[in-house]
Amino acid sequence: MTDAQAAATVQFGRLERRGLLLGLSVAQTAALSVVLVVVVAAEYVAGVVGVLVAAPLWAIPAAAALVQVAGRPVLSWLPVVTHWGVRRALAQHRYLVRPSRVTASQLELPGIRARLAVIDGPKTGAALVHDRSESTITAILSVSGSGFLLAEPGSQDHRVTGWGRLLAGLCQQPAVVRVQVLARCVLGGAAPVRRWWAEHALTNAPWAARVLAELVADAEQVSDRHETFLALAIRTPKPGQRGGSSASLAVVERQLTAVAEAARAADLDVHGWITSRRLPVLLRATYDPQGAARADTGSLSEEGPPPVLVGPAGVQEAWASIRTDSSHHAVYWVVEWPRSAVHAGFLQPLLLAPGAHRALSLTAQPLPPGVALREIRRARVEHAADSAQRARIGQLEDEATRAEVADVVRREQELVAGHGDLRLVGLLTVSAPTLVELDAACAATESAAAQAMCEIRRLVGQQGQAFTAAAVPLARRVS
């Protein structure tokens, strides 16, 4: 293997599973503390008989803290189940659009409590989505790449380095809150061909042209297209802070211009910022893919009245899936990325494999170097304390713990070398017209994730918020 081939690889850290004590979370430690207090008190009052009589008082919290279901302790499931039950009781798992609240400058989406204001950037023309509750402005850049998998190793390495330089530059900007990369497969890949045919076809065309028209109509139903968006959430001054709205917009647009230039430097094809006239098309393809495929999305004119910003007409959320206007969806969380160094195109099975319509969202929160160093040092101290406690009680340190420590050390070395640090969350959305097709698509997706050496977990009880964060490029906070 040459040096160029070895350089075009990426490596991810393991999922951190640190806790308050010996890998136990705060809730688990509190539950086991209650168990200890109950057992000691019962034994002191009535001996072994008292411990047996008080068994329901200490056995239930002990089981909740130690017994695991689907890889998580029962105690961690309680907030999810409780929140889902309350939302079901209050009918908050359903959403219907209210026509009286639909405007051209306000956006209301399920999964987001606050209404979002949409402002046109005076210089870039981008649709700036303002979230007053979080004091952020989000803009969406349409990008694409060409021929990465077929490029020579040197060219691949150059593109990977350019993308890493872009992310490292964002880490140095305190105003950047989050960055989201959304790559999705949607219906309607034959729309450009259909538009060209409608504009250039002859009215009295011969039989060959009629046959070609039938082929174009058939391609409209089966073809797909791939889209990639880069969403950037930028912090704005809170009310009462120095700097007015016009000054804030000027700062935001300067940062957007710098990001677009950095994307071009990373050999990305930049198609421009999503405008307020293109935003409804983007949302329609998210919530109503069947209707968006039938519509001619490219015929949207830049003249005339602004379009109405409408999300889904209705949403029905279930325990493990969600239904929007014309599709059923299931959202997965990427629990573990590949644990060894892999080629930069390792996501090819998830992004390009046929058999399902998927949208992969990577949300990264850039950490300033000072904050990242403090977190790393705190993690090293916690690992050292856990190691000392294990040695004191005679517990052996497993290989997974040693791998986590090695990841922390590697992160610190990369920071000292000048690289940036990111909190990365991956969400995968699978879509299908019916529940039966959704089950088949989910099975194909889980197989594709295994080929990409990624561990994914289907989210339950929170599909509504997860879908908004995963399928809509608004760089939302993911917790």
Count CB-CB contacts under 10 A for residue 388. Answer: 9
- Please give the average per-residue pLDDT across 183-212, as a whole number: 64
Instruction: Supply the pLDDT for residue 320.
Output: 92
Q: Side chain identity at 369, as an amino acid letter?
A: P
Same domain, 131 and 231: yes
**For residue 212, is it within any domain?**
no
Same domain, 29 and 162: no
> Alpha carbon 8 to chain centroid distance?
24
Q: How far is CA 16 from CA 277, 334, 336, 386, in A?
A: 42, 13, 10, 14
**For residue 216, is it within any domain?**
no
Confidence band for 309, pLDDT divided at 50, 70 and 90? low
Of the listed ranges 125-129, 212-216, 260-264, 364-368, the least confidently predicted one is 212-216
Same domain, 26 and 103: no
Residue 200 pLDDT greater than 80, yes or no? no
Phi, psi of 382 (to 5 degrees): -65, -40
Q: Which domain holds residue 113?
A: 93-188+223-298+305-471
Detail the DSSP E strand segments found in 262-412: 269-273, 314-317, 322-323, 328-336, 342-343, 357-367
**For residue 139, is it within any domain?**
yes
Confidence band for 187, pLDDT divided at 50, 70 and 90? confident
Residue 241 pLDDT greater than 50, yes or no? no
Q: How far is CA 325 from CA 1, 93, 227, 291, 346, in A?
A: 50, 15, 20, 9, 33
Residue 163 pLDDT greater than 70, yes or no? yes
- Please give the average per-residue pLDDT across 155-173, as a whole number: 80
Q: Which of 49, 64, 92 is the last residue of a domain?
A: 92
Count CB-CB contacts under 10 A for residue 247. Answer: 11
Instruction: Supply the pLDDT for residue 213.
Output: 64
Confidence band for 199, pLDDT divided at 50, 70 and 90? low
Q: Which residue has the higher pLDDT, 283 or 393?
A: 283
DSSP codes joined into one string, 120-167: E-TTT--EEEEETTTTEEEEEEEEE--STTTS-HHHHHHHHHHHHHHH
Task: Convert the pLDDT of each residue in 415-470 to its tens digit.
Answer: 887 777 788 899 999 999 999 999 999 999 999 999 999 999 999 999 988 999 99
Confidence band for 21, pLDDT divided at 50, 70 and 90? low
Task: Convert the pLDDT of each residue in 41-57 to its tens digit.
Answer: 988 888 888 888 888 88
Residue 219 pLDDT greater than 60, yes or no? no
Same domain, 86 and 97: no
Instruction: Supply the pLDDT for residue 409.
Output: 85
Instruction: Supply the pLDDT for residue 417.
Output: 78
Q: Side chain identity at 66, as an amino acid letter?
A: L
Same domain, 80 and 149: no
Query: Using CA atoms, how far apart are residues 228 and 145, in angstroms rounded to an integer?
Result: 9
Confidence band for 244, pLDDT divided at 50, 70 and 90? very low
Instruction: Supply the pLDDT for residue 377.
Output: 86
Same domain, 157 and 228: yes
Q: What percent of the chain lies above the pLDDT cut of 90? A: 19
Cβ distance 324 to 429 under 8 Å?
Answer: no
Q: Which residue has the higher pLDDT, 231 or 74?
A: 231
Phi, psi of 334 (to 5 degrees): -80, 100
Residue 384 pLDDT greater than 70, yes or no? yes
Mean residue pLDDT of the chain comes to: 80
Q: Which residue in 422, 385, 383, 423 sits closest to 403, CA to CA?
A: 383
**For residue 160, is it within any domain?**
yes
Residue 156 pLDDT greater than 50, yes or no? yes
- Which residues make Cβ contacts (< 8 Å) with residue 36, sequence separation at least 6? none
Same domain, 53 and 121: no
Instruction: Supply the pLDDT for residue 5.
Output: 46
Cβ distance 161 to 257 under 8 Å?
Answer: no
Q: Which two tokens stand for residue 285?
A: 């393809």
- Please give the average per-residue pLDDT across 227-245, as a whole number: 71
Confidence band for 141, pLDDT divided at 50, 70 and 90? very high
Instruction: Supply the pLDDT for residue 198.
Output: 62
**For residue 213, is it within any domain?**
no
Instruction: Supply the pLDDT for residue 4.
Output: 43
Q: Which of 92, 114, 147 is the last residue of a domain?
A: 92
Q: Which of 92, 124, 139 is the last residue of a domain?
A: 92
Local structure of 399: helix, strand or coil: helix
Instruction: Supply the pLDDT for residue 298.
Output: 46
Instruction: Supply the pLDDT for residue 441.
Output: 92
Residue 69 pLDDT greater than 50, yes or no? yes
- Which residues make Cβ contacts (< 8 Å) with residue 392, sequence separation at least 6? none
* Long-range pairs for 278-284: beta carbons < 8 A, 24 or more residues apart: 278/127, 279/118, 279/127, 279/140, 279/309, 280/307, 280/308, 280/309, 280/310, 282/140, 282/229, 282/473, 283/309, 283/310, 283/311, 283/472, 284/310
Instruction: Supply the pLDDT for residue 203.
Output: 58
Confidence band for 142, pLDDT divided at 50, 70 and 90? very high
- Please give the average per-residue pLDDT across 186-200, as a whole number: 62
In terms of C-beta density within 10 A (0-12 exposed, 13-18 middle, 19 or more buried), how is residue 464 classed?
buried
Same domain, 293 and 408: yes
Count CB-CB contacts under 10 A for residue 162. Answer: 16
**For residue 438, is it within any domain?**
yes
- Please give the average per-residue pLDDT across 379-396, as a whole number: 79
Task: Convert the pLDDT of each residue in 330-367 to its tens digit.
Answer: 999 999 888 888 888 888 888 887 767 899 999 988 88
Same domain, 73 and 139: no
Same domain, 312 and 167: yes
Element (H, E) at 229: strand 224-235
> Torsion over CA of 292, 298, 304 and 306, rounded to 10 degrees?
40
Confidence band for 206, pLDDT divided at 50, 70 and 90? low
Instruction: Supply the pLDDT for residue 426.
Output: 92
Query: Using CA atoms, how far apart are residues 187 and 194, in angstroms rounded to an integer?
Result: 14
Q: Which two tokens stand for residue 361?
A: 């969202």
Domain count, the chain: 2
Residue 322 pLDDT greater than 90, yes or no? yes
**For residue 479, is it within any domain?**
no
Of the listed ranges 207-211, 417-421, 472-476, the least confidently predicted one is 207-211
Cβ distance 62 to 32 under 8 Å?
Answer: yes
Question: What are residue 478's DSSP bridge partners?
Answer: none
Q: Which residue in 335, 334, 360, 343 sits closest to 431, CA to CA?
A: 360
Instruction: Supply the pLDDT for residue 190.
Output: 56
**Dihedral class, residue 304 (left if φ above 0, else alpha if ψ from -120 to 50, else beta):** left
Local structure of 312: helix, strand or coil: coil
Same domain, 107 and 126: yes
Instruction: Supply the pLDDT for residue 330.
Output: 95
**For residue 200, is it within any domain?**
no
Same domain, 280 and 399: yes
Which segments of 309-398 does DSSP mark as H helices, in order? 348-352, 369-393
Instruction: Supply the pLDDT for residue 317.
Output: 93
* 327-337 per-residue burial string, b: 16 or more CB within 10 A, e: under 16: bbbbbbbbeeb
Q: How far is CA 37 from CA 276, 277, 338, 390, in A?
A: 60, 63, 42, 22
